[in-house]
Structure 1
Amino acid sequence: MCSGVSEVLSSVVKDVDQAVSRNINGAQLLHELLSAPWLCALLKIYECLLKFQRLTPSPVLPYAAGLSHEVSPARELCSLLSSPHIQGATIRKDEATGDIYIARVIHGGLADRSALLHPGDLLVEVNGNPVVGLEPEQVIHILANSQGTILFKVIPNPSQASNSQTLVCMRAMVDYCPLQDSSIPCPDAGMAFSRGDLLQVVDQSDGQWWQARKLPCATSCAGLIPSASMLKSKQREQWWCQPLQCSLTSPAGFRRSFRVWKRTSYRKRRQSCTTCSPNTNALSTPYEEVVLYQRPPQENHRLIILVGASGVGVNELRKRLIKLNPSTFQGPVPHTTRSIRAGEQNGREYHFVTKELFEYMVCNHRFVEYGESKGQLYGISTDAIDEVLKRGRMCIIDAEPHSIQLLRTKKFKPYVIFIKPPKRETKQKNEYFAELEETSKLIEAKYKQFFDSVLVNDDLQDACIELCSIIQQAQDEPQWIPVSWGRAED
């Protein structure tokens, strides 16, 4: 068959086309077969292979002859080197036998795409040099000093595991840097990530080191990350080495939603419901499995939580949003132990309750935040939030960062928006703005794994418009949520 088979096929199709026009029996079927796209593509590939065979001579390797005699199941692997290590693969040594094995093949790397290397394959020789008994560092040194084509003699692993693993998406709840981890097998193959990053885990076969890619760029080569159990162990070691810190929170943080009270009243009493919450753990989960969630029309709207440093304009944004469209947006009605006043209505301005009932609700973790002013207790309850959502409204609250975890439930499916202050030139900063900026950085560094979106409040009106757009997307477009929020009730 000549190299111009595509031209020959085209000529044949034209002749058959004439036969079709003359209604010759079977011509139509033959025309459809010869015109099939897959056949045209196959012939073009064949032509390319013929052209490549003519222009590219096969390499002559004087030491390749020994491959089929000394080790019958061995195979040769060429050009899988990217100094100073095999591209997309790591090696390990069996201390008992001295054999060198392929430890893992990185998904998306050259070795993986070639399908020539697999975990557990025995590495026998590199360019004719036996590697049995050598240390992995010595093997890498041989590879690094090799020039031109690299030839491996490999005995395939007879019990290769199936590589049909289910892809799992996870949100990183901690920071990780492979260059600062002395336990990682190959720092160059490691992948750094920060709190809040979305990771697509492609391989969990190793109990200590997983392979993952960062989303949304899931087409890139995977990198090594610690498994959940290993990262949890590292967290535990770091936690025990840290000095004991008091769990009490600063009274200056309790603000915004309760601005009906004077600022000085915040100092009298302030409690964080998360300090005694049963969900509070000293060590957080390093990874949180997530799935894409599209809110069905019949479900309640997602709770919208605004978070930011005091003075960044969170409360102003919330109030302006509710005023802009009160039939859509609404805040929860606070609870209080004070007496009802003239013109007030129970359940409108406040839920008026007894002190005993209020304290009972506190003990049962039914308050997001609460405090005391002039001898009376005030608080925002989860029941009040639920009331707004059940009425078909979008509930907007501004909460302290440490309250987020209490609200992260399947019932509320909260969407958390972090409000940041605008950037200012150093010469334009005053003491107040510098403190605001520093507080915002601290909040973001500690809680950004819970943030679904970030909004810079440079101009209140522009920020309000952008906030409306973000909230609409949160309700109507697919968003990443913890997998437990999407599971059906047992």
Structure 2
Amino acid sequence: MKATVDYHPLQDASIPCPDAGMAFNRGDLLEVVDQSDALWWQARKLPCGTSVAGLIPSANMLRSKQKDQWWCQPSHVHSCIRPYNLADNEEDLTHTDGKRILTDMENNKDINFDEADSDVVEGIYLAGFRRSFRLWRRMSFKRRRQSCTSCSPSSNAVSTPYEEVALYQRLPQESHRLIILIGASGVGVNELRKRLIKLNPSTFQAPVPHTTRQIKEGEQAGREYHFVTKELFEYMVCNHRFVEYGESKGQLYGTSIDAIDEVLKRGRMCIIDVEPPSIHLLRLRNLKPYVIFIKAPSPESLRQTRRNSRIITSYAINRAFTEEDFLELEETSHLIEAKYKQYFDSVVVNDDLQDACMQLCSVIQQAQNEPQWIPVSWLHAED
């Protein structure tokens, strides 16, 4: 089974023998060897090696502990992670070189929000990289962010402190596993995803987003976007067909489950990046997602490699990194890892884009072709 919480026996006054207890962290694989006691189990970490079995709280015991301690944990990390440089209001926006940073609707009329950041490689259009699509994710994050109710004692980590898992080997005739990239804004998730798809566009593909805006000259329905009416978009929202959605410049944009399915049904590997709170929406049997955390490099490397890079934030278009950006990127990366590491199947440090892209490609091939631990529920036939 996989632990979805952290446990430290030396800090647990209720354990019969602290020295016999086994500490574990979220994401650790545990093999239970004795469940005869209702309160305390014996388990060892996988891979076993020379590790010996130790005492761990039973699922019911740990669930009770988590509920009792929930409101007295001052360092608890909430799922509503604040993205870096997301101002609380327009008055919080600062000045750079004497010029006020552009806001969502102000002073940016000359910017082409649908600049073709997407490319055609080997005759294949790379969807999901239009600037307008990327902007709504930054500009509408406050409206899309999950509330703190997701951090309550009824959250999944508390209701299921241990998740039963089993080894899974994808068969050649089965659809590829969905690949999810997670990372702090500015760490390079979007650039890595684009480079990966460019590397082999006949294998890797991103889902085509939906939007309510009008189709423009030179665009094709189903290529840049699925162009739909506002009524249809809202119908899809009500039926939980979107992984993420939001609004920018009066138009709705979103990534749908159906668009992801389209890619997988064509035999391609679907590569997406989502905000961390959206992971649980994609943990479905038919998708069997493989989650890769793109981790920020060391502070020194971060400043060296990003000094001349450009970013898109909730209130600025393609501006240079600042020292504040670096600090907040590091903090956000640490917060994401602390809160969601139990969902990560692999971690790639984006120290150098080329090296990280090659490592990412290798990890994805392993995810598709080698045995991996997945929730047992993903192996059961649907009712």
Q: Same fold (TM over 0.5)?
A: yes
Partner Cα distance (2:203, 2:48) in 1:
36
Instruction: Please state if 1:363 is matched with 2:238.
Output: yes
The match for 1:260 is 131
Equivalent of 1:181 in 12, 23, 37: 12
Distance verdict in 2 for CA 1:438–1:245, change over 3 Å: closer
Q: Deviations over 1:138-194 (max 9, x none)?
A: xxxxxxxxxxxxxxxxxxxxxxxxxxxxxxxx1000000000000000000000000
Quote how far apart the aligned CAs of 1:337 are. 0.4
Whichever residue aligns with residue 202 of structure 1, its letter is V
1:358 to 1:273, Cα distance in 2 relative to 1, 3 A: farther
Quick one: which of 161, 182, 185 aligns to 1:286? Answer: 161
- Relative to the length of structure 1, the TM-score reads 0.60
CA distance in 2, matches of 1:300, 1:271: 34
Superposition map of 1:15-164 within 5 A: none
Q: 1:432 aligns with which of 315, 318, 325?
A: 325
Higher relative contact order (CA 8 A, sep 6+): 2
Contact 1:236 1:283 in 2 (8 A): no
Pick from 211, 219, 226: which aligns with 1:344?
A: 219
Letter in 2 for 1:480: W
Q: Residue 207 of structure 1: CA displacement?
A: 0.6
Instruction: Tell me the equivalent position of 2:361.
Output: 468
The one-letter amino acid paired with 2:38 is G
- Partner SS state of residue 413, structure 1: coil
Q: 5+ residue gaps in structure 1?
A: 1-169
Q: Secondary structure of 1:300's match?
A: coil
Query: Residue 351 of structure 2: SS of its match in structure 1?
Result: coil
SS in 2 for 1:357: helix
TM-aligned CA distance change 1:265 to 1:190, over 3 Å:
closer
Q: Which amino acid aligns with 2:182?
A: V
Q: CA deviation at 1:249?
A: 6.4
Deviation, structure 1 residue 235 = 1.1
Provide, for residues 31-90 of structure 1, a one-character-per-residue CA deviation record: whole Å limited to 9, x for no partner: xxxxxxxxxxxxxxxxxxxxxxxxxxxxxxxxxxxxxxxxxxxxxxxxxxxxxxxxxxxx
Show the counterpart of 2:372: 479
From 192, 199, 214, the equivalent of 1:317 is 192
AA at the equivalent of 1:471: I
Tell me the matched-pair count. Answer: 319
Secondary structure, aligned partner of 1:206: coil
SS in 2 for 1:433: helix
Supply the distance in 2 between the matched residues of 1:354 and 1:480 (Cα, whole angstroms).
Answer: 41
Compute the displacement of 1:359 (Å): 1.2
Distance 1:407 1:336 in 2: 20
Identity of aligned residues (%): 73
Who is 1:396 aligned against?
A: 271
- The alpha-carbon distance between structure 1 residues 441 and 213, as it changes in their structure 2 partners (threshold 3 A), is same
- Helix, strand or coil at the partner of 2:24: coil
Please state whether the residue corresponding to 2:10 is helix, strand or coil: helix
| Unmatched tracts of structure 2, length 5 or more | 87-116, 118-127, 305-322
Out of 442, 448, 452, the position equivalent to 2:341 is 448
Other-structure match for 2:209: 334
Aligned 8 A contact 1:175 1:194 in 2: yes
How far apart, CA to CA, are the structure 1 residues paired with 2:268 and 2:302? 44
For 2:377 and 2:85, locate their aligned partners in 1 and report how far apart those are by CA, in whole Å: 30
CA–CA distance in 1 between the matches of 2:302 and 2:15? Answer: 44
* TM-aligned CA distance change 1:265 to 1:381, over 3 Å: closer
Alpha-carbon separation, structure 1, partners of 2:136 and 2:206? 24
2:134 equivalent to 1:303: no
Report deviation, 1:268. Answer: 5.1
CA contact (8 A) 1:273 1:368 kept: no
The question of whether the paired residues in 2 share the 8 Å contact of 1:418 and 1:455 is answered with yes
Q: How does 1:161-176 map to 2 (within 5 A)?
A: 170-176=1-7
Contact 1:333 1:351 in 2 (8 A): yes
CA distance change for structure 1 residues 182 and 294 in 2, over 3 Å: closer, same or farther?
Answer: same
Return the letter of the residue paired with 1:232: R
Aligned to 1:108: none
Q: 1:354 aligns with which of 229, 249, 255?
A: 229
Residue 55 of structure 2 aligns with which residue? 224
CA distance in 1, matches of 2:10, 2:356: 39
Runs of 4+ in structure 1 off by over 3 angstroms are: 240-254, 256-259, 262-278, 424-431
State the match for 1:49 in structure 2: none
Q: How far is the alpha carbon of 1:352 from its aligned partner?
A: 0.8
1:210 aligns with 2:41: yes
**Conserved in 1, the CA contact under 8 Å of 2:181 and 2:291?**
yes
